[in-house]
Amino acid sequence: MKRLLRRAPVTHGVNTERRQSTALHFYQNRQLELYASKQTKRLTLRQLVFFGRSMNEERLIQSGNYVRTELPVRIAHRIRDLQALPYVVVTQEGVARVYELYWSAFEKFRRYPEIKTLSDNEAFCAFLRDILEEHAAVIPSLSLGLSLSSPYLPPDQLDSFMRRMLVSRISRRVLAEHHIALSEHFARRDSRSGDVGIIDTGLNISESVNKCVKFLRDRRFDLEEDGVDMPDQDKEWPEVVVEGHLNAKFSYIREHLEYIVFELLKNSMRATGLKHLDKSTLPPIHATIAASTDEIGIRISDQGMSSTSGRVIKASPQDLFSFSHTRNAARLETSRIGALRTVSSSKQGMKATVDEQLQWWKRRRRDSAPSFDVDARSDDIETEAGVAPHPRIGIGLPMSNIFARYFGGSLELISLDGWGTDAYIRLPKLGTNLEGIEL
Ligand code: COI
Protein backbone atom coordinates (compact mmCIF):
# COMPACT_ATOMS: atom_id res chain seq x y z
CA MET A 1 0.00 0.00 0.00
CA LYS A 2 2.72 2.45 1.01
CA ARG A 3 4.41 1.71 -2.26
CA LEU A 4 1.27 2.66 -4.14
CA LEU A 5 0.80 5.89 -2.24
CA ARG A 6 4.36 6.98 -2.75
CA ARG A 7 4.15 6.65 -6.52
CA ALA A 8 3.52 9.97 -8.23
CA PRO A 9 0.03 9.56 -9.58
CA VAL A 10 -0.64 10.53 -13.17
CA THR A 11 -4.22 11.72 -13.11
CA HIS A 12 -6.56 13.06 -15.71
CA GLY A 13 -8.76 15.72 -14.18
CA VAL A 14 -9.14 14.09 -10.74
CA ASN A 15 -10.01 16.58 -8.07
CA THR A 16 -7.69 16.68 -5.09
CA GLU A 17 -10.40 16.37 -2.47
CA ARG A 18 -11.71 13.19 -4.04
CA ARG A 19 -8.20 11.80 -4.24
CA GLN A 20 -7.57 12.48 -0.54
CA SER A 21 -10.80 10.86 0.58
CA THR A 22 -10.10 7.93 -1.73
CA ALA A 23 -6.72 7.47 -0.07
CA LEU A 24 -8.29 7.69 3.38
CA HIS A 25 -10.44 4.69 2.67
CA PHE A 26 -7.36 2.58 2.38
CA TYR A 27 -7.15 2.87 6.14
CA GLN A 28 -10.80 2.20 6.94
CA ASN A 29 -10.78 -1.37 5.96
CA ARG A 30 -11.68 -3.42 8.99
CA GLN A 31 -15.35 -3.79 8.24
CA LEU A 32 -14.57 -4.24 4.62
CA GLU A 33 -12.22 -7.12 5.33
CA LEU A 34 -14.92 -8.76 7.41
CA TYR A 35 -17.41 -8.67 4.56
CA ALA A 36 -14.90 -9.43 1.84
CA SER A 37 -13.88 -12.59 3.69
CA LYS A 38 -17.43 -13.95 3.35
CA GLN A 39 -18.45 -16.12 0.43
CA THR A 40 -21.18 -14.78 -1.81
CA LYS A 41 -24.41 -16.81 -1.88
CA ARG A 42 -24.88 -17.26 -5.58
CA LEU A 43 -28.23 -18.25 -7.02
CA THR A 44 -29.56 -19.88 -10.16
CA LEU A 45 -32.34 -18.48 -12.30
CA ARG A 46 -34.43 -21.49 -11.34
CA GLN A 47 -34.00 -20.77 -7.62
CA LEU A 48 -35.10 -17.20 -8.20
CA VAL A 49 -38.22 -18.43 -10.02
CA PHE A 50 -39.09 -21.18 -7.53
CA PHE A 51 -38.62 -18.95 -4.53
CA GLY A 52 -40.58 -16.08 -6.05
CA ARG A 53 -43.42 -18.11 -7.47
CA SER A 54 -45.44 -18.57 -4.31
CA MET A 55 -44.89 -15.42 -2.39
CA ASN A 56 -46.18 -14.66 1.07
CA GLU A 57 -45.29 -12.10 3.67
CA GLU A 58 -42.70 -14.26 5.37
CA ARG A 59 -40.93 -15.16 2.13
CA LEU A 60 -40.92 -11.56 0.95
CA ILE A 61 -39.27 -10.46 4.17
CA GLN A 62 -36.80 -13.33 3.85
CA SER A 63 -36.02 -12.17 0.29
CA GLY A 64 -35.49 -8.60 1.52
CA ASN A 65 -33.10 -9.72 4.23
CA TYR A 66 -31.18 -11.86 1.77
CA VAL A 67 -30.67 -8.82 -0.49
CA ARG A 68 -29.83 -6.63 2.52
CA THR A 69 -27.09 -8.96 3.73
CA GLU A 70 -25.84 -10.26 0.39
CA LEU A 71 -25.26 -6.97 -1.41
CA PRO A 72 -22.66 -5.58 1.03
CA VAL A 73 -20.69 -8.83 0.66
CA ARG A 74 -20.72 -8.53 -3.15
CA ILE A 75 -19.83 -4.84 -2.98
CA ALA A 76 -17.01 -5.53 -0.50
CA HIS A 77 -15.39 -7.99 -2.91
CA ARG A 78 -15.37 -5.38 -5.63
CA ILE A 79 -14.03 -2.62 -3.36
CA ARG A 80 -11.17 -4.98 -2.58
CA ASP A 81 -10.64 -5.40 -6.30
CA LEU A 82 -10.52 -1.64 -6.76
CA GLN A 83 -8.01 -1.34 -3.95
CA ALA A 84 -5.74 -3.85 -5.60
CA LEU A 85 -5.42 -1.61 -8.66
CA PRO A 86 -2.37 0.62 -9.01
CA TYR A 87 -3.00 4.03 -7.45
CA VAL A 88 -2.72 5.69 -10.83
CA VAL A 89 -5.77 3.72 -11.92
CA VAL A 90 -7.97 4.04 -8.85
CA THR A 91 -7.53 7.81 -8.90
CA GLN A 92 -8.60 8.17 -12.53
CA GLU A 93 -11.70 10.15 -13.23
CA GLY A 94 -14.53 7.65 -13.34
CA VAL A 95 -12.82 4.95 -11.29
CA ALA A 96 -12.51 7.26 -8.30
CA ARG A 97 -16.20 8.13 -8.66
CA VAL A 98 -17.23 4.47 -8.64
CA TYR A 99 -14.97 3.76 -5.68
CA GLU A 100 -16.70 6.48 -3.67
CA LEU A 101 -20.15 5.25 -4.71
CA TYR A 102 -19.32 1.70 -3.66
CA TRP A 103 -17.99 2.77 -0.30
CA SER A 104 -21.09 4.78 0.37
CA ALA A 105 -23.39 1.91 -0.72
CA PHE A 106 -21.39 -0.58 1.34
CA GLU A 107 -21.77 1.54 4.47
CA LYS A 108 -25.48 2.07 3.88
CA PHE A 109 -26.21 -1.64 3.40
CA ARG A 110 -24.02 -2.70 6.29
CA ARG A 111 -25.89 -0.43 8.66
CA TYR A 112 -29.35 -1.12 7.29
CA PRO A 113 -31.55 -2.62 10.06
CA GLU A 114 -33.17 -6.02 9.73
CA ILE A 115 -36.45 -6.09 7.82
CA LYS A 116 -39.21 -7.44 10.05
CA THR A 117 -42.49 -6.23 8.62
CA LEU A 118 -44.06 -5.44 5.27
CA SER A 119 -43.75 -1.76 5.93
CA ASP A 120 -40.02 -2.22 6.71
CA ASN A 121 -39.84 -3.92 3.36
CA GLU A 122 -41.55 -1.04 1.59
CA ALA A 123 -38.97 1.33 3.07
CA PHE A 124 -36.21 -1.06 2.01
CA CYS A 125 -37.52 -1.08 -1.58
CA ALA A 126 -37.51 2.73 -1.62
CA PHE A 127 -33.92 2.62 -0.35
CA LEU A 128 -32.99 0.16 -3.12
CA ARG A 129 -34.61 2.31 -5.80
CA ASP A 130 -32.57 5.31 -4.66
CA ILE A 131 -29.31 3.36 -4.77
CA LEU A 132 -30.10 1.89 -8.17
CA GLU A 133 -30.66 5.42 -9.44
CA GLU A 134 -27.52 6.73 -7.76
CA HIS A 135 -25.49 4.03 -9.51
CA ALA A 136 -27.00 4.64 -12.95
CA ALA A 137 -23.74 5.95 -14.41
CA VAL A 138 -21.43 3.29 -12.96
CA ILE A 139 -20.75 1.50 -16.24
CA PRO A 140 -19.82 4.53 -18.34
CA SER A 141 -17.78 5.85 -15.39
CA LEU A 142 -15.84 2.62 -15.10
CA SER A 143 -15.46 2.39 -18.81
CA LEU A 144 -14.10 5.95 -18.95
CA GLY A 145 -11.72 5.34 -16.06
CA LEU A 146 -10.43 2.06 -17.41
CA SER A 147 -10.02 3.43 -20.92
CA LEU A 148 -7.90 6.25 -19.48
CA SER A 149 -6.00 3.71 -17.39
CA SER A 150 -5.45 1.35 -20.26
CA PRO A 151 -1.82 2.49 -20.80
CA TYR A 152 -1.02 1.52 -17.18
CA LEU A 153 -2.54 -1.96 -17.05
CA PRO A 154 -1.68 -5.15 -18.92
CA PRO A 155 -4.68 -6.09 -21.09
CA ASP A 156 -5.37 -9.37 -19.27
CA GLN A 157 -5.46 -7.67 -15.91
CA LEU A 158 -7.62 -4.85 -17.20
CA ASP A 159 -10.11 -7.16 -18.88
CA SER A 160 -10.44 -9.58 -15.99
CA PHE A 161 -10.94 -6.67 -13.59
CA MET A 162 -13.64 -5.18 -15.80
CA ARG A 163 -15.33 -8.53 -16.22
CA ARG A 164 -15.53 -9.04 -12.45
CA MET A 165 -16.81 -5.50 -11.90
CA LEU A 166 -19.47 -5.72 -14.59
CA VAL A 167 -20.76 -9.21 -13.81
CA SER A 168 -20.92 -8.38 -10.14
CA ARG A 169 -22.79 -5.18 -10.91
CA ILE A 170 -25.31 -7.01 -13.04
CA SER A 171 -25.76 -9.53 -10.25
CA ARG A 172 -26.38 -6.86 -7.62
CA ARG A 173 -28.87 -5.06 -9.80
CA VAL A 174 -30.64 -8.32 -10.60
CA LEU A 175 -31.04 -9.09 -6.88
CA ALA A 176 -32.22 -5.58 -6.06
CA GLU A 177 -34.58 -5.24 -9.03
CA HIS A 178 -35.94 -8.75 -8.58
CA HIS A 179 -36.77 -8.07 -4.96
CA ILE A 180 -38.45 -4.76 -5.83
CA ALA A 181 -40.50 -6.47 -8.55
CA LEU A 182 -41.50 -9.31 -6.19
CA SER A 183 -42.59 -6.74 -3.64
CA GLU A 184 -44.62 -4.82 -6.21
CA HIS A 185 -46.32 -7.96 -7.51
CA PHE A 186 -47.10 -9.01 -3.96
CA ALA A 187 -48.56 -5.60 -3.11
CA ARG A 188 -50.81 -5.82 -6.19
CA ARG A 189 -51.60 -9.47 -5.43
CA ASP A 190 -50.64 -9.99 -9.05
CA SER A 191 -50.48 -13.76 -9.45
CA ARG A 192 -51.77 -14.05 -13.03
CA SER A 193 -48.86 -12.57 -14.92
CA GLY A 194 -46.12 -14.84 -16.29
CA ASP A 195 -43.52 -12.71 -14.56
CA VAL A 196 -41.85 -13.82 -11.37
CA GLY A 197 -40.06 -10.72 -10.19
CA ILE A 198 -38.00 -9.60 -13.18
CA ILE A 199 -38.05 -13.04 -14.79
CA ASP A 200 -40.45 -13.68 -17.65
CA THR A 201 -41.33 -17.36 -17.32
CA GLY A 202 -42.72 -17.52 -20.86
CA LEU A 203 -40.36 -15.22 -22.69
CA ASN A 204 -41.21 -15.31 -26.38
CA ILE A 205 -37.90 -14.91 -28.17
CA SER A 206 -39.19 -13.94 -31.60
CA GLU A 207 -41.39 -11.23 -30.05
CA SER A 208 -38.34 -9.75 -28.37
CA VAL A 209 -36.30 -9.93 -31.58
CA ASN A 210 -39.10 -8.29 -33.57
CA LYS A 211 -39.42 -5.54 -31.02
CA CYS A 212 -35.71 -4.72 -31.36
CA VAL A 213 -35.94 -4.88 -35.16
CA LYS A 214 -38.86 -2.47 -35.24
CA PHE A 215 -37.20 -0.01 -32.93
CA LEU A 216 -33.97 -0.07 -34.93
CA ARG A 217 -35.57 0.11 -38.38
CA ASP A 218 -37.76 3.04 -37.35
CA ARG A 219 -34.65 5.20 -37.23
CA ARG A 220 -33.56 7.26 -40.21
CA PHE A 221 -30.73 5.63 -42.16
CA ASP A 222 -27.69 7.59 -41.11
CA LEU A 223 -23.98 6.80 -41.04
CA GLU A 224 -22.73 10.33 -40.56
CA GLU A 225 -20.96 9.30 -37.39
CA ASP A 226 -18.90 6.96 -39.53
CA GLY A 227 -17.90 9.85 -41.76
CA VAL A 228 -20.37 8.98 -44.53
CA ASP A 229 -22.37 11.70 -46.29
CA MET A 230 -26.00 10.74 -46.52
CA PRO A 231 -27.42 12.09 -49.75
CA ASP A 232 -29.98 9.28 -50.13
CA GLN A 233 -32.75 10.31 -47.75
CA ASP A 234 -35.00 7.40 -48.69
CA LYS A 235 -32.62 4.60 -47.94
CA GLU A 236 -33.69 2.25 -45.16
CA TRP A 237 -31.86 0.06 -42.70
CA PRO A 238 -31.67 -3.56 -43.85
CA GLU A 239 -34.61 -5.82 -43.37
CA VAL A 240 -34.30 -8.54 -40.74
CA VAL A 241 -35.63 -11.98 -41.56
CA VAL A 242 -36.60 -13.66 -38.30
CA GLU A 243 -36.71 -17.42 -38.79
CA GLY A 244 -36.35 -20.77 -37.06
CA HIS A 245 -38.28 -21.74 -33.93
CA LEU A 246 -40.56 -18.75 -33.88
CA ASN A 247 -42.70 -20.02 -31.03
CA ALA A 248 -39.81 -20.81 -28.70
CA LYS A 249 -40.22 -19.59 -25.15
CA PHE A 250 -38.14 -19.91 -22.02
CA SER A 251 -37.70 -18.41 -18.57
CA TYR A 252 -35.28 -15.56 -18.66
CA ILE A 253 -34.72 -11.94 -17.79
CA ARG A 254 -36.26 -10.24 -20.81
CA GLU A 255 -34.18 -7.09 -20.40
CA HIS A 256 -30.96 -9.10 -20.63
CA LEU A 257 -32.02 -10.95 -23.78
CA GLU A 258 -33.23 -7.77 -25.46
CA TYR A 259 -30.10 -5.84 -24.58
CA ILE A 260 -27.96 -8.43 -26.36
CA VAL A 261 -30.21 -8.80 -29.41
CA PHE A 262 -30.57 -5.04 -29.77
CA GLU A 263 -26.82 -4.42 -29.64
CA LEU A 264 -26.01 -7.18 -32.12
CA LEU A 265 -28.69 -6.12 -34.57
CA LYS A 266 -27.61 -2.50 -34.32
CA ASN A 267 -24.01 -3.47 -35.11
CA SER A 268 -25.13 -5.67 -38.00
CA MET A 269 -27.22 -2.88 -39.46
CA ARG A 270 -24.37 -0.38 -39.37
CA ALA A 271 -21.90 -2.90 -40.76
CA THR A 272 -24.29 -3.73 -43.62
CA GLY A 273 -24.97 -0.06 -44.34
CA LEU A 274 -21.25 0.72 -44.47
CA LYS A 275 -20.37 -2.16 -46.74
CA HIS A 276 -23.14 -1.55 -49.27
CA LEU A 277 -23.11 2.22 -49.46
CA ASP A 278 -23.60 2.16 -53.21
CA LYS A 279 -26.75 0.02 -53.11
CA SER A 280 -30.21 1.42 -52.61
CA THR A 281 -31.46 -1.78 -50.97
CA LEU A 282 -29.30 -3.54 -48.43
CA PRO A 283 -28.91 -7.31 -48.10
CA PRO A 284 -31.12 -8.59 -45.27
CA ILE A 285 -29.89 -9.68 -41.89
CA HIS A 286 -31.00 -13.12 -40.74
CA ALA A 287 -31.95 -13.74 -37.12
CA THR A 288 -32.35 -17.48 -36.59
CA ILE A 289 -33.80 -18.85 -33.38
CA ALA A 290 -33.09 -22.45 -32.37
CA ALA A 291 -34.48 -24.06 -29.24
CA SER A 292 -33.03 -27.37 -28.13
CA THR A 293 -33.83 -29.27 -24.94
CA ASP A 294 -31.40 -27.36 -22.83
CA GLU A 295 -30.37 -24.32 -24.82
CA ILE A 296 -31.73 -21.35 -26.73
CA GLY A 297 -29.55 -20.28 -29.62
CA ILE A 298 -29.87 -17.14 -31.70
CA ARG A 299 -27.68 -16.52 -34.71
CA ILE A 300 -27.55 -13.07 -36.24
CA SER A 301 -25.97 -13.12 -39.69
CA ASP A 302 -25.11 -10.07 -41.69
CA GLN A 303 -23.31 -9.32 -44.91
CA GLY A 304 -21.66 -6.26 -43.51
CA MET A 305 -18.08 -5.26 -42.96
CA SER A 306 -16.29 -8.11 -41.33
CA SER A 307 -16.35 -6.68 -37.90
CA THR A 308 -19.33 -6.20 -35.69
CA SER A 309 -18.44 -2.62 -34.98
CA GLY A 310 -18.80 -1.72 -38.61
CA ARG A 311 -15.15 -0.82 -38.87
CA VAL A 312 -12.49 -2.79 -40.60
CA ILE A 313 -10.54 -4.21 -37.72
CA LYS A 314 -7.64 -6.54 -38.15
CA ALA A 315 -7.85 -7.98 -34.63
CA SER A 316 -10.03 -10.93 -33.72
CA PRO A 317 -13.71 -10.08 -33.24
CA GLN A 318 -13.38 -11.13 -29.60
CA ASP A 319 -11.06 -8.17 -29.07
CA LEU A 320 -14.12 -6.00 -29.48
CA PHE A 321 -15.09 -7.18 -25.99
CA SER A 322 -11.86 -5.81 -24.60
CA PHE A 323 -11.52 -2.58 -22.64
CA SER A 324 -7.80 -2.39 -23.34
CA HIS A 325 -6.62 -0.01 -26.04
CA THR A 326 -3.95 -2.48 -27.06
CA ARG A 327 -6.67 -4.93 -28.10
CA ASN A 328 -9.25 -2.40 -29.20
CA ALA A 329 -7.75 0.89 -30.32
CA ALA A 330 -11.15 2.61 -30.29
CA ARG A 331 -10.99 2.71 -26.48
CA LEU A 332 -8.78 5.78 -26.52
CA GLU A 333 -10.49 7.63 -29.39
CA THR A 334 -11.19 11.21 -28.43
CA SER A 335 -14.84 11.07 -29.51
CA ARG A 336 -15.46 7.98 -27.42
CA ILE A 337 -13.77 9.39 -24.33
CA GLY A 338 -15.79 12.58 -24.79
CA ALA A 339 -19.06 10.65 -25.06
CA LEU A 340 -18.17 8.58 -22.01
CA ARG A 341 -17.42 11.74 -20.04
CA THR A 342 -20.80 13.20 -20.90
CA VAL A 343 -22.72 10.07 -20.04
CA SER A 344 -20.81 9.27 -16.89
CA SER A 345 -21.23 12.75 -15.48
CA SER A 346 -24.96 12.82 -16.18
CA LYS A 347 -27.15 11.89 -13.24
CA GLN A 348 -29.24 9.59 -15.41
CA GLY A 349 -26.43 7.52 -16.86
CA MET A 350 -27.65 5.53 -19.82
CA LYS A 351 -31.00 4.13 -20.60
CA ALA A 352 -30.00 0.54 -20.20
CA THR A 353 -33.00 -1.46 -21.35
CA VAL A 354 -34.68 -1.50 -24.72
CA ASP A 355 -37.98 -0.48 -23.05
CA GLU A 356 -36.32 2.45 -21.34
CA GLN A 357 -34.83 3.55 -24.62
CA LEU A 358 -38.17 3.25 -26.38
CA GLN A 359 -39.87 5.34 -23.72
CA TRP A 360 -37.09 7.89 -23.94
CA TRP A 361 -37.51 8.24 -27.69
CA LYS A 362 -41.28 8.43 -27.43
CA ARG A 363 -41.00 11.17 -24.82
CA ARG A 364 -38.48 13.03 -26.92
CA ARG A 365 -40.50 12.63 -30.06
CA ARG A 366 -43.53 14.01 -28.30
CA ASP A 367 -41.59 16.97 -26.93
CA SER A 368 -39.72 17.85 -30.10
CA ALA A 369 -40.46 19.42 -33.45
CA PRO A 370 -42.19 17.21 -36.04
CA SER A 371 -38.99 16.97 -38.09
CA PHE A 372 -37.29 15.14 -35.24
CA ASP A 373 -34.78 12.58 -36.36
CA VAL A 374 -34.83 9.44 -34.27
CA ASP A 375 -31.14 8.78 -34.39
CA ALA A 376 -28.66 9.62 -31.63
CA ARG A 377 -25.39 11.17 -32.59
CA SER A 378 -22.41 11.56 -30.34
CA ASP A 379 -22.55 15.35 -30.70
CA ASP A 380 -26.21 15.24 -29.81
CA ILE A 381 -26.13 13.27 -26.63
CA GLU A 382 -26.79 16.03 -24.15
CA THR A 383 -30.36 17.22 -24.48
CA GLU A 384 -32.94 18.92 -22.38
CA ALA A 385 -34.42 15.52 -21.59
CA GLY A 386 -31.11 14.15 -20.33
CA VAL A 387 -28.72 11.89 -22.12
CA ALA A 388 -29.63 9.97 -25.23
CA PRO A 389 -29.96 6.25 -24.61
CA HIS A 390 -27.44 5.17 -27.11
CA PRO A 391 -24.48 7.41 -27.61
CA ARG A 392 -21.56 5.53 -29.15
CA ILE A 393 -19.56 4.77 -26.05
CA GLY A 394 -18.41 1.34 -27.09
CA ILE A 395 -19.79 -0.78 -24.30
CA GLY A 396 -22.63 -2.54 -26.12
CA LEU A 397 -20.61 -5.57 -27.16
CA PRO A 398 -18.65 -6.16 -23.96
CA MET A 399 -21.87 -5.74 -21.97
CA SER A 400 -23.74 -8.13 -24.27
CA ASN A 401 -21.00 -10.67 -23.70
CA ILE A 402 -21.29 -10.25 -19.96
CA PHE A 403 -25.09 -10.47 -19.99
CA ALA A 404 -24.88 -13.68 -22.05
CA ARG A 405 -22.39 -15.25 -19.66
CA TYR A 406 -24.11 -14.22 -16.46
CA PHE A 407 -26.25 -17.36 -16.21
CA GLY A 408 -23.79 -19.57 -18.08
CA GLY A 409 -24.49 -18.63 -21.69
CA SER A 410 -22.08 -17.34 -24.30
CA LEU A 411 -21.67 -14.88 -27.13
CA GLU A 412 -19.39 -15.62 -30.04
CA LEU A 413 -18.65 -13.57 -33.13
CA ILE A 414 -17.36 -15.19 -36.28
CA SER A 415 -16.41 -13.00 -39.21
CA LEU A 416 -15.88 -14.21 -42.72
CA ASP A 417 -13.53 -11.72 -44.26
CA GLY A 418 -15.06 -9.98 -47.22
CA TRP A 419 -18.52 -11.38 -46.55
CA GLY A 420 -19.97 -10.62 -43.10
CA THR A 421 -20.34 -11.64 -39.48
CA ASP A 422 -22.31 -14.28 -37.64
CA ALA A 423 -23.02 -13.65 -33.98
CA TYR A 424 -24.05 -16.66 -31.89
CA ILE A 425 -25.91 -16.14 -28.64
CA ARG A 426 -26.38 -19.25 -26.53
CA LEU A 427 -28.45 -19.14 -23.38
CA PRO A 428 -29.14 -22.11 -21.09
CA LYS A 429 -32.78 -23.01 -21.03
CA LEU A 430 -33.06 -24.85 -17.75
CA GLY A 431 -31.86 -22.06 -15.49
CA THR A 432 -29.73 -24.39 -13.40
CA ASN A 433 -26.40 -22.55 -13.72
CA LEU A 434 -25.24 -20.43 -10.83
CA GLU A 435 -24.68 -16.74 -11.49
CA GLY A 436 -21.28 -16.39 -13.12
CA ILE A 437 -19.83 -14.04 -10.55
CA GLU A 438 -16.41 -14.66 -9.12
CA LEU A 439 -16.56 -14.76 -5.30
C1 COI B 1 -24.69 -0.80 -9.03
O2 COI B 1 -25.56 -0.48 -9.82
O3 COI B 1 -23.49 -0.62 -9.28
C4 COI B 1 -25.05 -1.39 -7.75
O5 COI B 1 -24.19 -1.84 -7.08
C6 COI B 1 -26.49 -1.35 -7.35
C7 COI B 1 -26.78 -2.07 -6.05
C8 COI B 1 -26.04 -1.51 -4.89
C9 COI B 1 -28.26 -2.08 -5.81
The answer to whether position 296 is within a domain reads: yes
Alpha-carbon distance 155 to 46, whole Å? 35
CATH classification of the domain holding 34: 1.20.140.20
Most informative mutation of 66, 69, 70, 71 for ligand 1 (most atoms within 8 A of CB)? 71
When pLDDT is cut at 50, 70 and 90, the band that residue 310 belongs to is: very low
The answer to whether position 436 is within a domain reads: no
Minimum-distance ligand 1 atom for the alpha carbon of 172: 7
Q: Which of 105-109, 252-256, 386-390 has the lowest average pLDDT?
A: 386-390
> Does residue 173's CB lie within 6 angstroms of at least one atom of ligand 1?
yes
The answer to whether position 255 is within a domain reads: yes
Number of structural domains in the chain? 2
Please determine, for residue 3, whether its predicted confidence score (pLDDT) is greater than 60: no
> Does residue 269's CB lie within 6 angstroms of at least one atom of ligand 1?
no
Minimum-distance ligand 1 atom for the alpha carbon of 136: 2
Rounded to an integer, the average pLDDT of 199-219 is 95
Please determine, for residue 202, whether its predicted confidence score (pLDDT) is greater than 90: yes
> Does residue 139's CB lie within 6 angstroms of at least one atom of ligand 1?
no
The answer to whether position 438 is within a domain reads: no
Residues 92, 229, single domain; the answer is no
**What percent of the chain is modeled with pLDDT above 70?**
79
Residues 290, 353, single domain; the answer is yes
Residue 159: CA count within 13 A, CB half-sphere: 18
Q: Which of 236-245, 316-325, 353-362, 364-373 has the highest mean pLDDT?
A: 236-245
Do 175 and 128 touch, CB atoms closer than 8 A? no
Last residue of a domain, one of 146, 163, 193: 193
193 CB neighbour count, 10 Å cutoff = 11
Residues 188, 217, single domain; the answer is no
Q: Residue 365 C-alpha to ligand 1 middle, in angstroms? A: 30
Which of 199, 189, 169 is CA-nearest to residue 48?
199
**What percent of the chain is modeled with pLDDT above 90?**
56
Residues 175, 230, single domain; the answer is no
Q: How confident is the model over 160-199, as pLDDT tens digits?
A: 999 999 999 999 999 999 999 999 999 988 666 789 999 9
> Does residue 179's CB lie within 6 angstroms of at least one atom of ligand 1?
no
Residues 147, 266, single domain; the answer is no
The answer to whether position 175 is within a domain reads: yes
The answer to whether position 435 is within a domain reads: no
Residues 19, 136, single domain; the answer is yes
pLDDT value of residue 372? 29
Minimum-distance ligand 1 atom for the alpha carbon of 71: 8
Q: Residue 127 C-alpha to ligand 1 middle, in angstroms? A: 12
pTM: 0.84
Residues 164, 206, single domain; the answer is no
pLDDT value of residue 429? 93
Residue with the larger pLDDT of the pair 415 and 213: 213
pLDDT value of residue 439? 59
Please determine, for residue 403, whether its predicted confidence score (pLDDT) is greater than 80: yes
Last residue of a domain, one of 162, 193, 224: 193
Last residue of a domain, one of 176, 193, 210: 193
Q: 408: alpha, beta or left, given left = phi > 0 and alpha = psi -120 to 50?
A: left
> Does residue 131's CB lie within 6 angstroms of at least one atom of ligand 1?
yes
User: 305-308 contacts: CB < 8 A, separation 24 or more?
Assistant: 305/271, 305/274, 305/275, 306/415, 306/416, 306/417, 306/418, 306/419, 306/420, 306/421, 307/271, 307/415, 307/421, 308/264, 308/267, 308/268, 308/271, 308/397, 308/413, 308/415, 308/421, 308/423
The answer to whether position 434 is within a domain reads: no
247: DSSP letter: T
> Does residue 132's CB lie within 6 angstroms of at least one atom of ligand 1?
yes
Q: Residue 202 C-alpha to ligand 1 middle, in angstroms? A: 27
Domain range for residue 292? 199-428
Alpha-carbon distance 383 to 351, whole Å? 14
pLDDT value of residue 273? 92
User: 23-31 contacts: CB < 8 A, separation 24 or more?
Assistant: 25/83, 25/99, 25/103, 26/1, 26/83, 29/83, 31/110
When pLDDT is cut at 50, 70 and 90, the band that residue 336 belongs to is: confident
Q: Residue 93 C-alpha to ligand 1 middle, in angstroms? A: 19
Q: Across-strand partners of 386?
A: 383
Please determine, for residue 135, whether its predicted confidence score (pLDDT) is greater than 60: yes
DSSP3 helix / strand / coil % (the chain, rounded to 5): 55, 15, 35
Residues 163, 221, single domain; the answer is no
Alpha-carbon distance 55 to 210, whole Å? 33
Do 303 and 269 touch, CB atoms closer than 8 A? no
The answer to whether position 181 is within a domain reads: yes
Rounded to an integer, the average pLDDT of 133-143 is 92
ipTM of the complex: 0.95
Most informative mutation of 125, 139, 169, 353 for ligand 1 (most atoms within 8 A of CB)? 169
Please determine, for residue 394, whether its predicted confidence score (pLDDT) is greater than 70: yes
Residues 127, 242, single domain; the answer is no
CATH classification of the domain holding 316: 3.30.565.10
Residues 166, 282, single domain; the answer is no
Residues 123, 235, single domain; the answer is no
Residues 209, 114, single domain; the answer is no
pLDDT value of residue 345? 76
Alpha-carbon distance 242 to 271, whole Å? 18
